[in-house]
Amino acid sequence: MATSGWTVIGTDTGVGKTVVAAAIAATFVAAGRKVAVAKPVQTGGSDDTAEVDRLVGPGVGRRGWHLARPLDPALAAELGGDHLFPGELVSWTLTALTGVDVGLVDTAGGCSSEMKEGFNNSDLARAVGLSAVVVCRPGAGTLNHALLTCDHLRARHVDITGLVVDRMPRNPTIVEAANLAELERLTRYPIVGVLPEIALDPGSFAAITGLWLGPELGGRFAKAGFLAPMRALV
Protein backbone atom coordinates (compact mmCIF):
# COMPACT_ATOMS: atom_id res chain seq x y z
CA MET A 1 0.00 0.00 0.00
CA ALA A 2 1.19 3.54 -0.74
CA THR A 3 2.83 5.39 2.13
CA SER A 4 0.46 8.33 1.57
CA GLY A 5 -2.35 9.35 -0.72
CA TRP A 6 -5.98 10.31 -1.19
CA THR A 7 -9.31 9.11 -2.45
CA VAL A 8 -10.56 11.69 -4.94
CA ILE A 9 -14.33 12.09 -4.53
CA GLY A 10 -16.56 14.50 -6.42
CA THR A 11 -19.67 16.39 -5.44
CA ASP A 12 -21.19 14.92 -8.61
CA THR A 13 -20.22 13.15 -11.79
CA GLY A 14 -18.34 15.22 -14.38
CA VAL A 15 -16.80 17.65 -11.88
CA GLY A 16 -13.24 16.80 -12.92
CA LYS A 17 -12.10 14.10 -10.49
CA THR A 18 -9.79 12.47 -13.02
CA VAL A 19 -8.09 15.75 -13.91
CA VAL A 20 -7.63 16.57 -10.22
CA ALA A 21 -6.24 13.09 -9.51
CA ALA A 22 -3.87 13.49 -12.48
CA ALA A 23 -2.84 16.97 -11.27
CA ILE A 24 -1.97 15.69 -7.80
CA ALA A 25 -0.12 12.75 -9.31
CA ALA A 26 1.82 14.99 -11.69
CA THR A 27 3.07 17.26 -8.89
CA PHE A 28 4.50 14.29 -6.99
CA VAL A 29 5.94 12.65 -10.10
CA ALA A 30 7.70 15.93 -10.88
CA ALA A 31 9.16 15.80 -7.36
CA GLY A 32 10.60 12.36 -8.04
CA ARG A 33 7.99 10.31 -6.19
CA LYS A 34 6.55 7.04 -7.47
CA VAL A 35 2.81 7.47 -7.94
CA ALA A 36 -0.19 5.37 -8.96
CA VAL A 37 -3.76 6.43 -9.73
CA ALA A 38 -6.20 3.54 -9.27
CA LYS A 39 -9.57 3.55 -11.03
CA PRO A 40 -11.46 0.65 -9.42
CA VAL A 41 -14.48 0.95 -11.72
CA GLN A 42 -14.86 2.68 -15.08
CA THR A 43 -18.28 3.00 -16.65
CA GLY A 44 -19.26 4.03 -20.18
CA GLY A 45 -17.05 4.57 -23.19
CA SER A 46 -14.44 6.89 -21.67
CA ASP A 47 -11.05 5.73 -20.39
CA ASP A 48 -9.93 7.79 -17.40
CA THR A 49 -6.86 5.63 -16.88
CA ALA A 50 -5.62 6.43 -20.39
CA GLU A 51 -6.18 10.12 -19.69
CA VAL A 52 -4.11 9.91 -16.50
CA ASP A 53 -1.31 8.21 -18.41
CA ARG A 54 -1.51 10.85 -21.14
CA LEU A 55 -1.24 13.72 -18.67
CA VAL A 56 1.16 12.24 -16.12
CA GLY A 57 3.09 9.43 -17.81
CA PRO A 58 2.69 5.79 -18.86
CA GLY A 59 1.97 3.26 -16.17
CA VAL A 60 0.64 5.72 -13.58
CA GLY A 61 -3.02 4.87 -14.18
CA ARG A 62 -4.34 1.46 -13.16
CA ARG A 63 -7.86 0.31 -14.06
CA GLY A 64 -9.97 -2.40 -12.49
CA TRP A 65 -13.45 -3.22 -13.79
CA HIS A 66 -14.85 -1.66 -17.00
CA LEU A 67 -18.63 -1.63 -17.35
CA ALA A 68 -20.09 -0.71 -20.72
CA ARG A 69 -23.13 1.31 -19.65
CA PRO A 70 -22.56 5.00 -18.68
CA LEU A 71 -24.36 4.66 -15.34
CA ASP A 72 -23.50 4.49 -11.65
CA PRO A 73 -21.42 1.33 -11.20
CA ALA A 74 -24.00 -0.72 -9.27
CA LEU A 75 -26.69 -0.14 -11.90
CA ALA A 76 -24.27 -0.55 -14.80
CA ALA A 77 -23.16 -3.88 -13.34
CA GLU A 78 -26.70 -5.10 -12.73
CA LEU A 79 -27.93 -4.25 -16.22
CA GLY A 80 -24.83 -5.72 -17.81
CA GLY A 81 -24.95 -8.97 -15.88
CA ASP A 82 -21.71 -8.18 -14.07
CA HIS A 83 -20.96 -8.50 -10.36
CA LEU A 84 -18.98 -6.11 -8.18
CA PHE A 85 -18.12 -7.33 -4.69
CA PRO A 86 -16.91 -4.89 -2.01
CA GLY A 87 -14.14 -7.19 -0.77
CA GLU A 88 -12.74 -7.63 -4.27
CA LEU A 89 -12.93 -3.90 -4.99
CA VAL A 90 -11.05 -3.04 -1.81
CA SER A 91 -8.48 -5.79 -2.37
CA TRP A 92 -7.87 -4.72 -5.96
CA THR A 93 -7.46 -1.06 -4.94
CA LEU A 94 -4.98 -1.85 -2.19
CA THR A 95 -2.98 -4.03 -4.56
CA ALA A 96 -3.03 -1.37 -7.29
CA LEU A 97 -1.52 1.11 -4.83
CA THR A 98 1.19 -1.23 -3.57
CA GLY A 99 4.83 -0.36 -4.16
CA VAL A 100 4.38 3.39 -4.68
CA ASP A 101 5.04 6.47 -2.55
CA VAL A 102 1.76 8.23 -3.29
CA GLY A 103 -1.50 6.48 -4.16
CA LEU A 104 -4.68 8.06 -5.47
CA VAL A 105 -8.10 6.51 -5.97
CA ASP A 106 -10.15 8.02 -8.80
CA THR A 107 -13.77 7.21 -7.94
CA ALA A 108 -16.73 6.96 -10.30
CA GLY A 109 -19.62 9.34 -9.69
CA GLY A 110 -20.33 11.15 -6.43
CA CYS A 111 -19.66 10.17 -2.83
CA SER A 112 -22.86 8.13 -2.51
CA SER A 113 -22.61 6.43 -5.92
CA GLU A 114 -22.84 2.71 -5.25
CA MET A 115 -20.69 -0.08 -6.65
CA LYS A 116 -22.84 -2.64 -4.87
CA GLU A 117 -26.05 -2.12 -2.96
CA GLY A 118 -24.99 -0.79 0.44
CA PHE A 119 -21.40 -0.06 -0.63
CA ASN A 120 -20.56 3.33 -2.12
CA ASN A 121 -17.51 5.53 -2.76
CA SER A 122 -17.46 6.76 0.83
CA ASP A 123 -17.33 3.17 2.05
CA LEU A 124 -14.48 2.45 -0.36
CA ALA A 125 -12.53 5.45 0.92
CA ARG A 126 -12.97 4.33 4.52
CA ALA A 127 -12.02 0.73 3.71
CA VAL A 128 -8.89 1.75 1.79
CA GLY A 129 -7.94 4.14 4.59
CA LEU A 130 -7.07 7.20 2.52
CA SER A 131 -8.22 10.72 3.34
CA ALA A 132 -10.64 12.23 0.83
CA VAL A 133 -10.07 15.18 -1.48
CA VAL A 134 -13.47 16.61 -2.47
CA VAL A 135 -13.67 18.01 -6.00
CA CYS A 136 -16.18 20.85 -6.48
CA ARG A 137 -17.49 22.98 -9.32
CA PRO A 138 -17.06 26.75 -8.95
CA GLY A 139 -20.53 27.75 -10.16
CA ALA A 140 -24.10 27.84 -8.92
CA GLY A 141 -25.14 24.97 -6.67
CA THR A 142 -21.67 24.06 -5.51
CA LEU A 143 -22.17 25.25 -1.92
CA ASN A 144 -25.10 22.90 -1.44
CA HIS A 145 -23.38 20.00 -3.20
CA ALA A 146 -20.11 20.46 -1.32
CA LEU A 147 -21.83 20.69 2.07
CA LEU A 148 -23.93 17.57 1.40
CA THR A 149 -20.84 15.67 0.24
CA CYS A 150 -18.77 16.63 3.27
CA ASP A 151 -21.63 15.83 5.64
CA HIS A 152 -22.02 12.42 3.99
CA LEU A 153 -18.30 11.66 4.28
CA ARG A 154 -18.27 12.73 7.93
CA ALA A 155 -21.23 10.46 8.63
CA ARG A 156 -19.29 7.56 7.07
CA HIS A 157 -16.23 8.42 9.21
CA VAL A 158 -14.05 9.38 6.24
CA ASP A 159 -11.25 11.85 6.93
CA ILE A 160 -11.26 14.86 4.58
CA THR A 161 -8.07 16.68 3.63
CA GLY A 162 -9.90 19.52 1.89
CA LEU A 163 -11.61 20.82 -1.23
CA VAL A 164 -10.30 21.32 -4.75
CA VAL A 165 -12.31 23.60 -7.02
CA ASP A 166 -11.97 22.59 -10.67
CA ARG A 167 -12.40 24.66 -13.85
CA MET A 168 -12.35 28.04 -12.13
CA PRO A 169 -12.95 30.77 -14.74
CA ARG A 170 -10.04 33.13 -15.34
CA ASN A 171 -12.46 36.04 -14.92
CA PRO A 172 -14.87 34.93 -12.20
CA THR A 173 -18.26 36.52 -11.74
CA ILE A 174 -19.74 37.34 -8.36
CA VAL A 175 -21.24 33.82 -8.35
CA GLU A 176 -17.87 32.04 -8.43
CA ALA A 177 -16.32 34.64 -6.12
CA ALA A 178 -19.05 34.21 -3.51
CA ASN A 179 -18.79 30.43 -3.68
CA LEU A 180 -15.03 30.48 -3.15
CA ALA A 181 -15.46 32.92 -0.27
CA GLU A 182 -18.06 30.70 1.45
CA LEU A 183 -16.91 27.13 0.81
CA GLU A 184 -14.57 26.85 3.77
CA ARG A 185 -17.02 28.38 6.24
CA LEU A 186 -19.91 26.15 5.23
CA THR A 187 -18.07 22.85 4.89
CA ARG A 188 -15.53 23.51 7.68
CA TYR A 189 -12.74 22.18 5.46
CA PRO A 190 -9.93 24.11 3.74
CA ILE A 191 -9.65 24.79 0.05
CA VAL A 192 -6.45 22.95 -0.91
CA GLY A 193 -6.47 23.77 -4.60
CA VAL A 194 -8.21 25.75 -7.34
CA LEU A 195 -7.58 24.50 -10.86
CA PRO A 196 -8.37 27.06 -13.56
CA GLU A 197 -9.79 26.30 -16.97
CA ILE A 198 -6.63 25.14 -18.74
CA ALA A 199 -5.68 23.27 -21.87
CA LEU A 200 -4.78 19.73 -20.84
CA ASP A 201 -1.34 19.68 -22.44
CA PRO A 202 0.93 16.90 -21.09
CA GLY A 203 4.04 19.01 -21.67
CA SER A 204 3.00 21.76 -19.26
CA PHE A 205 0.44 19.98 -17.09
CA ALA A 206 2.61 19.37 -14.00
CA ALA A 207 4.09 22.87 -13.99
CA ILE A 208 0.72 24.58 -14.36
CA THR A 209 -1.25 22.44 -11.94
CA GLY A 210 1.53 22.61 -9.35
CA LEU A 211 0.87 26.34 -9.12
CA TRP A 212 -2.77 25.71 -8.24
CA LEU A 213 -2.54 22.86 -5.74
CA GLY A 214 -1.73 23.58 -2.10
CA PRO A 215 1.28 22.27 -0.17
CA GLU A 216 -0.91 19.51 1.26
CA LEU A 217 -1.11 18.08 -2.27
CA GLY A 218 2.48 18.71 -3.28
CA GLY A 219 1.95 22.10 -4.95
CA ARG A 220 2.57 25.73 -4.14
CA PHE A 221 -0.83 27.39 -4.38
CA ALA A 222 -0.94 30.69 -2.48
CA LYS A 223 -4.50 30.41 -1.20
CA ALA A 224 -4.62 33.60 0.85
CA GLY A 225 -3.59 35.75 -2.08
CA PHE A 226 -6.12 34.06 -4.33
CA LEU A 227 -9.09 34.25 -1.97
CA ALA A 228 -8.59 37.91 -0.97
CA PRO A 229 -9.88 39.35 -4.28
CA MET A 230 -12.70 36.77 -4.30
CA ARG A 231 -13.92 38.07 -0.96
CA ALA A 232 -13.51 41.65 -2.16
CA LEU A 233 -15.96 40.98 -5.01
CA VAL A 234 -18.71 39.84 -2.67
Q: Measuring CA to CA, which residue among 16, 46, 23 is closest to residue 168?
A: 16
Q: How far apart are CA 40 and CA 211, in angstroms?
A: 29
DSSP for 44-68 reads SS--HHHHHHHHH-TT-EEEEEEES
Max CA-CA distance within the chain? 54
CA distances from 123 to 40, 90, 126, 149 (A): 13, 10, 5, 13
CA 86 to chain centre: 20
Q: What is the CA radius of gyration of the chain?
A: 17
User: β-pairing, 131-136 with 102-110?
Assistant: unpaired
Is 39 a known active-site residue? yes
Q: How far apart are CA 89 and CA 139, in angstroms?
A: 33
* Catalytic member of 17, 34, 39, 116: 39
CA distances from 47 to 42, 52, 56 (A): 7, 9, 14
Contact 154, 28 (CB under 8 A): no
- The residues annotated as belonging to the active site are 39
